[in-house]
Amino acid sequence: MGMKILTGNSNPELAEAIAAYLNMPLAKAAVKRFSDQEVFVEIHENVRGEDVFLVQPTNFPANDHMMELLVCIDALKRASARRITAVIPYFGYARQDRKPGPRTPISAKLVANLITTAGADRVLTMDLHAGQIQGFFDIPTDNLYAMPVLVRDLKEKYAGKKTMIVSPDVGGVVRARAYAKRLDAPIAIIDKRRERAGVSEVMHIVGDVKDCHCVLVDDIVDSAGTLCNAAKALHEAGASSVSAYVAHGVLSGPAYERIENSVMDELVITDSIRPTEACNANPKIRVVTVAPLLAEAMNRIAHETSVSSLFE
């Protein structure tokens, strides 16, 4: 069984980097729009009996990229691909993983159903916002972590320095502990609470961050409000420097302006989401690639070897 890599329009640069790492070309295909913006897919080479990996993060515009993913899967299914793996480095709708109130959807489950019904045989994703989303799929689902890539970068930058890993909220403590363990560093926690409606959040820091190089770690940075407020609180508490390492740079709304005007020295994100021009132009944002990590996982899936050993 041969292996082929296909990409939609969400992050073709990442797909190209993965293909280059594996020393193979991207499969020839056209993912286009009709004049009314309907998605049209045409695969320009034979995929019958092939093991096909479709690389398509579902970031903004999430609905367009999601529809591209589904139509590509259907095209591959009808072209008799032997196995279709949806490689979704950033899984859109992951924050809607439960009912936050009455009469609300669990959209992450709906999306999992759509991908399965379209014909995907397995899913490869990275840093799911909630680990239980793996259970929403009735097909094999591998959830990779950007942590090995980000920890490598952290070790190079903060070697020999007094480093403190910081969780920007109580919910991220497990992630912070995992980073701290690999870096042999202590952790601190930002306890964020809103006293009453209309009053700004009060930040309480659990841990002594004075004279430490503080590193905030999270899975998603969206509007960057929480991250920038946390950085300000750490700075006021006497931190020597504050930076942030985040797996997915969603970066919507006022995020770029907030980051540039914040006390953060640097925000490090991965290319799970295609960096925009504004992202590349922002002096405080640096992008590290997860292409080798994804490529290695894809290669192991294709050769039926262990993916979990990537983290051992």
Phi-psi region at 184: left, alpha or beta (left = phi > 0; alpha = psi -120 to 50): left
Active site residue 192: yes
75 is in an annotated binding site: no
95 is in an annotated binding site: yes
58 is in an annotated binding site: no
226 is in an annotated binding site: yes
Q: Is the separation of the CB atoms in 250 and 273 below 8 Å? A: yes
CA angle 161, 165, 169 (to 5 degrees): 155
225 is in an annotated binding site: yes
38 is in an annotated binding site: yes
218 is in an annotated binding site: yes
Q: Is the separation of the CB atoms in 83 and 302 below 8 Å? A: no
142 is in an annotated binding site: no
Q: Active site residue: 192, 210, 232, 284, which one?
A: 192
36 is in an annotated binding site: yes
64 is in an annotated binding site: no
Q: Which residues are annotated as a binding site for D-ribose 5-phosphate?
A: 194, 218, 222-226
Provide the annotated active-site residues. 192
Annotated binding site: 36-38, 95-96, 129, 169, 194, 218, 222-226
Return binding residues for ATP: 36-38, 95-96
